[in-house]
Structure 1
Amino acid sequence: MAYQPPVRDHLFLLRDVLEIDRYSNLPAFADASMDVVEQIITEAAKFTGEVLAPLNSVGDKHGCTWNPDFTVTPPPGFKEAYKQLCEGGWTGLGSDPAYGGQGLPHVVNLSFSEMSSSANMAFSMYPGLAHGAYSAIHTGGTDEQKQTYLPKMVTGEWTGTMNLTEPQCGTDLGMLRTKAVPQADGSYRITGQKIWISAGEHDMSDNIVHLVLARIEGAPAGVKGISLFIVPKFFPNADGSVGARNEGVKCVGLEEKMGIHGNATCVMQYEDAVGYLIGEENSGLKLMFVMMNEARLGVGLQGVAQGEAAYQAARDFAKDRLQGRSLTGPKNPDGPADPIIVHPDVRRMLLDSRAVIEGGRAFLFWTALHGDLMHQHPDEAVRQKAGDYMGLLTPVLKGYLTDKGFKACVDGMQVHGGSGFTEHFPASQYLRDCRIALIYEGTNGIQALDLVGRKLASSGGRAVMSWFAEIDAFVEANSADEKLKPFIEGLAGAKAQQQDATMWLMQNGLANPDNAGAASTDYMHLFGLTGLAYMWALMAKVSLAKIAAGDTDPFYENKLVVGRYYLERVLPETAAHLAKLKTGSATMMALPAEAF
């Protein structure tokens, strides 16, 4: 079977767990009743399942083609699918109505994005990157820049990119060399090379709006001297049409990659290209982080999305593949063997994946809802707490969920056995495509360092203290519920271990920063495990209430079974992470570099 968008699970989260109808007093939610949202998600499932999913393997096998005239041709079918994407209004779901967007909550847009990424990760990156560029211009652009670029980006007629990385600098943007020379007319001439630019060149849209980090001549060294520029492929005309070519912008090659072959990953050469400053001089990094934080949440989503697709393929294979007999006697006595789903170790791999994917999806949706509250809630205290959570949880969601999403893809291939190692089945593509998610938008090691080095200490630790207080309040409020007890005890235990780890970091990280670095990945995973324990407790509470009210839909009992599996078989990993974290950095740093 092909990928089937998990509509039921999405609606469960939005309607029953997050209860988004409660927020109908907020602007984005006013026109997003659950009835409307259900229609949107149902249509999203049709589009992603019927249009995008069949092109996934096409994009993988054909890839993109670089042409000698510096253009790029996407895989067969992509251009037509992109046209359908735009005609369906999918590019403007969460965008500002002032520029033609539908203004829906980001948490609803996230639902579509997950389905799109599961169906076709490489394709989904074209509109995904464009929305990031839209957000940066929306945040920092002048009124004229917004009016010029945003309406076309909302409709998808124009796409966008983010240009950070150069051959000599990736994470360390202070080493950036691309230069910007001011011109008499207020524009700048941009010169330099950018690499790994996703969707940097293609023929699916009328124009491509490149956002480029560069250093204005005479700017301070390091990250304090970086500015952000709009460098369009074609100059916009006053009437909104596409004008002359910006001759200094060229795609001079494509990367040969392990996966996401359907996405054009470009080497972009800027030679006196005309660019326009966004925001203030030397404050480009702050604006680019608007894009990067959005992209990091999107990458965490890619981990869940590819894990979901890999799980579905492995589940379907396990139900069909006949090998061996059940340890407790034949389950398919009329056949030559039993389906492999009867074997406990196959179930281990499938349930490991499902428990983390469903918990991870809930964590993403829960966090995205806080993003909506951060922008729209009238209460300043609610906005502040939501903003704190967005900052604190973004590296956790990116790092933990891509690590675990990739593991789901590895396990999905393992379930397929030798078949998974061939290209006759989709397991290989899911694994290859997902692998980049652990690397781009800041490697997972960088996410872990950001978490322990910046986010924990931000505002005197206010965000993580709010996190602990919220969990404590939930545990106390539900401690008398006997049926929920395993989930409450599991959550309380994980939270205690995370708090223990946080205190250890505060005491030992400052004294020796290597201790913080050595502990960072284990801490990130401990945080992720605790976050999913909270989500499973929330989902279990709703499921138990539905069953108690007489609902006989097996969905709720199945949800409880998977949740209990998470508590028994996944959550105990917290103890190992805490034990490793507390060993500090001494052994890790003891071996001389030349001894490696």
Structure 2
Amino acid sequence: MAKQNISKRNLQFMMKEVFNAAEVTSHPRFEHIDAEAIDMILESTEQIADNVAAPIAVEMDHVQAELENDKVTVHAKVHEYTRLMGESGLIGVFAPLEMGGSQLPVTVNTASGLIMSAANNALTMFSGLTSGAANLIVSFGNKELQDTYLPKMFSGEWQGTMCLTEPQAGSSLHYITSVATPTGEPGKYKIKGQKIYISAGDYEGVENVVHLYLAKIEGGPAGAKGISLFVVPKYRPENGQLVDNDVKTAGIFHKMGQRGTPALHIQVGDEDNCYGWLVGEEHRGLPQMFQMMNEARIGVGVTGAAIASAAYYEALQYAHERPQGQRLDIKGQDPNAPQTLIINHADVKRMLLFQKAIVEGSISLILQGAKYADYELTTEGEEKERYQLLLDFLTPVIKTFPTEFGVESVSSSMQVFGGGGYCTDFPLERLYRDIRITTIYEGTTGIQSLALLGRNITMKNGKAAMAFFQEVTKDIQAAKTHNELKPFAEQLEKSAQELQKVTQHLVGFAMKGQVELFLKDATLYMELFGLVTVGWQWLKQGTVAKEALVTKNPQGDDLHFYESKIHTMKYYFAYVLPRTKGLIDPLMNAEALTVDAAQQALIM
């Protein structure tokens, strides 16, 4: 029997009761999908996760990717996994049917990703990157590019990547120096440059690697406005053959975690024989790449929540098996009495409830974003704009809360294990290493925080922020109809008001042109915003659970499930949401200790 890494019952609750994923299948875009098909897709995912992904998670960590004799080796099962994902239609998930895609609702693909990442987060990088790269070609590539690359990518035969970062540029992409030189043939350029940290950028056994590559066309505008997007394959198709395209692996980065997925230093055009094909318009590469980057950011949030989920279920099982100490409520303890299981200790239950609150709150937040994405695809006019705004607005939070709080959650899992959790005998040390990178992938927490406060809060003159608070208010009012939930609805209402007050205070600096004062504590603002946002998600879940208890008369496991939902919601509001109080004071403090600090203050 496969080990539990994620709650299938919780996913059913989220998909069917909280977000009603089958609702969008009434739209013509998804008329080929129904509730039964959704169940079949998730069952297929579970089979791959249980039978292929989970059994090799430890091996992929211990026998990490290596570069030897110019060849990158990965676990042999990677190819079986990508083939199965292709056969299941889980790589071309968003692509139209006429292009060979599955055209699935985003909510369904997101739930599938949670299941797979919880089983083996390093393995899902391979299929996720291919899916994102292929989706860029679907959205912006011409028909020739689509016909050439999509079938092999959708089948899992060809790997896809995103090539952004360069050694001298890091996250400041306007400083990239990769150059594209026109060849005289429409859309075809010579490419020369290098990229670093390219996940799944090359490995033995894969037939081809298709890099979605950012470069600047010679003579184009300076900075970010001059960036264009290209398909740069490892082997270029010519006359029915695959020809070496002068794309070489210069080095491999040995990572703290996710060791089974190679992160590579790629050099292209050293022999002046590398060609790339323009995707979309010239000098529009960065806006186009943002599609994949935003998909990847949500994917990183999925990974964070999934790893935290796997760690939680490890800790939960261990707490039910490990005897230690005696219960504190037994007077006159008998030193000869048997020890109690640690699940009976209040502090252990506190740590487990914290993990459950973070994991299930994060999953709810992620699926909320996925539902907005589905609505954006199936609505028109002002309604479509509203859902696009909400998705764009929340994307930095969806990336950040599950990863930052996920790290803390996995740390609590390790604490439940005690010293054993720090050893390779248990999976906690691997999961702790794996999740740490998620706060850095696709833009660090600091960068995401700057995006939330510096761009999204003021987006469309505050229209996106207003739409968000309207969504929160709507669910607060729904919760107030239940007497048991009314105190929590009022608590969230107060927290949301305090968040708005802090927001107005900070935006005041921006209106005066004091940008550094506006953004100096953006990371603290992100934490505050995330706490309130996930409080909203827990109130939403609590309301649905309460309504089920009132109307469905559940029994047995269902009764326990709904009661557990409400209990965990109460825990979040008692233990986690109050953290906002410690963030409001520094955010409202006008003293610029970090802005005005001289170097001497940091080194003396």
TM-score (norm 2): 0.94
Task: Report what 2:83 is aligned to.
Answer: 83
CA RMSD of aligned residues (A): 2.0
Q: Is the 8 A contact 1:250 1:270 kept in 2?
A: yes
Offset from partner CA, 1:449-469 (integer Å, 9 cap, x none): 011111111110101011112
Q: CA separation in 1, counterparts of 2:171 and 2:550?
A: 51
Which residue does the alignment assign to 2:576? 570
Q: Does 1:551 align with 2:545?
A: no
Query: Structure 1 pair 276/332, CA: closer, same or farther in 2 (3 Å)?
Result: farther
- What do the CA deviations read for 1:480-531 (whole angstroms, capped 9, x no partner)? 3212213312321221121111111121344322222223112211221121
Q: Please give the alpha-carbon distance, in whole angstroms, between the structure 2 residues aligned to 1:305 and 1:210.
A: 27
Amino acid at match of 2:66: T
Q: Any idea what SS the aligned residue of 2:211 has?
A: strand
Moved more, 509-518 or 179-188: 509-518
Q: Distance in 2 between matches of 1:102 and 1:353?
A: 34
Q: Which residue of the partner structure matches residue 132 of structure 2?
A: 132
8 Å contact kept, 2:479–2:540:
no
In the other structure, the counterpart of 2:538 is: 536
Number of the residue aligned with 1:590: 596
After superposition, where does 1:390-429 map in structure 2 within 5 Å? 390-429=391-430
Match of 1:346 in 2: 348
- Residues 60 and 260 in structure 1, CA contact (< 8 A), matched pair in contact too: yes
SS state at 1:532 partner: helix
Distance 2:480 2:435 in 1: 39
Confirm whether residue 516 of structure 1 aligns to residue 515 of structure 2: no
Q: Identify the residue that residue 258 of structure 1 maps to in structure 2.
A: 256
Distance 1:585 1:217, change over 3 A: farther
Give 1:332 shift.
Answer: 12
1: CA distance, partners of 2:259 / 2:38 = 32
Structure 1 distance, partners of 2:337, 2:37, is 47
Q: Which residue of 1 aligns with 2:368?
A: 366
Which residue of structure 2 lines up, in the alignment, with residue 503 of structure 1?
504
Cα displacement (A) at 1:28: 4.2
Q: Does the 8 Å contact 1:21/1:29 carry over to 2?
A: no
1:438 aligns with 2:444: no
Q: Secondary structure at the match of 1:63?
A: coil
Relative to structure 1, the CA distance from residue 205 to residue 89 in structure 2 (aligned partners, 3 Å threshold; closer, same or farther) is farther
Partner of 2:243: 244
1:401 deviates by 1.7
Task: Give the distance between the partners of 1:61 and 1:332, measured in 2 at CA.
Answer: 44
Would the aligned equivalents of 2:24 and 2:374 in 1 still touch at CA under 8 Å?
Answer: no
Partner of 1:305: 306
Structure 1 SS opposite 2:320: helix
Residue of structure 2 in register with 1:98 after alignment:
98
Corresponding residue SS for 1:572: helix
Matched residue, 1:525:
527
Indicate how the Cα distance of structure 1 residues 236 and 490 shifts in structure 2: closer, same or farther if over 3 A, else same: farther
Inter-partner Cα distance in structure 2 for 1:332 and 1:388: 62
1:416-440: per-residue Cα shift (whole Å, max 9, x none)?
A: 1111111111001101011111112
Q: Do the aligned partners of residues 394 and 585 (structure 1) sit closer, same or farther apart at CA in structure 2, a change above 3 Å counting?
A: farther
Taking a change above 3 Å as real, the CA distance of residues 579 and 32 of structure 1, as seen in their structure-2 partners, is farther
AA partner of residue 167 (structure 1): P
| Number of equivalences | 591
What is the CA–CA distance in structure 2 between the aligned matches of 1:77 and 1:311, rounded to whole Å? 26
Q: CA deviation at 1:250?
A: 0.9
The question of whether the paired residues in 1 share the 8 Å contact of 2:159 and 2:210 is answered with: yes
Task: Report deviation, 1:337.
Answer: 0.9
Instruction: Give the counterpart letter for 1:304 in structure 2.
Output: A
Quote the Cα distance in structure 2 between the aligned partners of 1:19 and 1:279.
Answer: 35
Per the alignment, residue 47 of structure 2 pairs with 46
Secondary structure of 1:24's counterpart equals helix
Cα distance between partner residues in 2 of 1:551 and 1:50: 33
Which whole-Å CA distance do the structure 1 matches of 2:137 and 2:590 have between them? 43
- Listed as ranges, the matches of 1:163-178 within 5 Å are 163-178=163-178
Residues 342 and 507 (structure 1), Cα distance of their counterparts in 2 relative to 1, 3 Å cut: same
Question: CA offset at residue 43 of structure 1?
Answer: 2.8
Q: Which runs of 5+ in 1 are unaligned?
A: none
**Shift of residue 233, structure 1, vs aligned partner:** 1.4
1:244 shift after superposition: 1.8
State the alpha-carbon separation in 2 of the partners of residues 108 and 135 from structure 1: 16
8 A contact 1:159–1:207 mirrored in 2: yes
CA distance in 2 between partners of 1:242 and 1:340 (Å): 62
Q: Tell me whether 251-260 or 489-498 shows the greater mean CA deviation.
A: 489-498
- Matched letter for residue 177 of structure 1: T
Equivalents in 1 of 2:9, 2:202: separation in Å?
37
C-alpha contact 1:518 1:581 (8 A) present in aligned 2: no
Change (3 A) 1:440 1:544: same
CA contact (8 A) 1:224 1:282 kept: yes
Moved over 6 A (4+): 330-335
> In structure 2, do the counterparts of structure 1 residues 363 and 204 end up closer, same or farther at CA, with 3 Å as the change threshold?
farther
Query: Structure 1 CA distance, aligned partners of 2:28 and 2:71?
Result: 41
User: 8 Å contact 2:5–2:309 — kept in the other structure?
Assistant: no
Contact map agreement 1:132 1:291 (CA 8 A) in 2? yes
Contact 1:59 1:76 in 2 (8 A): no
1: CA distance, partners of 2:192 / 2:426: 44
SS at structure 1 position matched to 2:193: strand
For residues 536 and 395 of structure 1, the distance between their equivalents in structure 2, rounded to whole angstroms, comes to 19
Q: Secondary structure at the match of 2:91?
A: helix
Distance 1:354 1:478 in 2: 21
Deviates more, 1:330-339 or 1:256-265: 330-339
Gaps of 5+ in 2: none
User: Residues of 1 paired with 2:488 and 2:29: CA distance?
Assistant: 33
Structure 1 residues 515, 242: closer, same or farther in 2, change over 3 A?
farther
Aligned residue for 1:453?
454
Is residue 396–residue 524 contact of structure 1 (8 Å, CA) maintained in 2?
A: yes
Provide the C-alpha distance between the structure 2 equivalents of 1:472 and 1:518, rounded to a whole number of angstroms: 29
Aligned letter for 1:282? H
Could you tell me how far 1:204 is from its partner in structure 2?
A: 4.7
Superposition TM-score, scaled by structure 1 size = 0.95
1:475-514 correspondence to structure 2 within 5 Å = 475-511=476-512, 512-514=514-516
What percentage of residue pairs aligned between the two structures are identical? 36
Cα 1:29–1:332, aligned 2, differ >3 Å: closer, same or farther? farther
Q: Secondary structure at the match of 2:521?
A: helix
Aligned-partner Cα distance in 2 for 1:73–1:498? 49
CA distance in 2, matches of 1:28, 1:6: 29
Q: Aligned partner of 1:249: which letter?
A: V
Summarize the Cα distance change of 1:22–1:224 in structure 2 as closer, same or farther, 3 Å threshold. same
Whole-angstrom distance in 1 between the partners of 2:172 and 2:453: 18
SS in 2 for 1:482: coil
Change (3 A) 1:105 1:334: farther
Cα deviation, 1:238-280, whole Å, max 9, x if unaligned, reads 6xx652221x101122101111100011110101311111112
- Determine the structure 1 residue equivalent to 2:65: 64
Residue 92 of structure 1 aligns to a residue whose secondary structure is: coil
Instruction: Please say if residues 90 and 102 of structure 2, whose CA atoms lie closer than 8 Å, have aligned partners that are also in contact.
Output: no
Q: CA deviation at 1:470?
A: 2.2
1:122 corresponds in structure 2 to 122
Offset, 1:369: 1.0
Q: Give distance in 1, aligned partners of 2:554 and 2:470.
A: 33
Q: Which amino acid aligns with 1:524?
A: M
What corresponds to 2:278 in structure 1? 277
- For residues 340 and 591 of structure 2, what CA distance do their matches in structure 1 show? 49
Counterpart AA for 2:247: V
**Equivalent residue letter for 1:572:** P
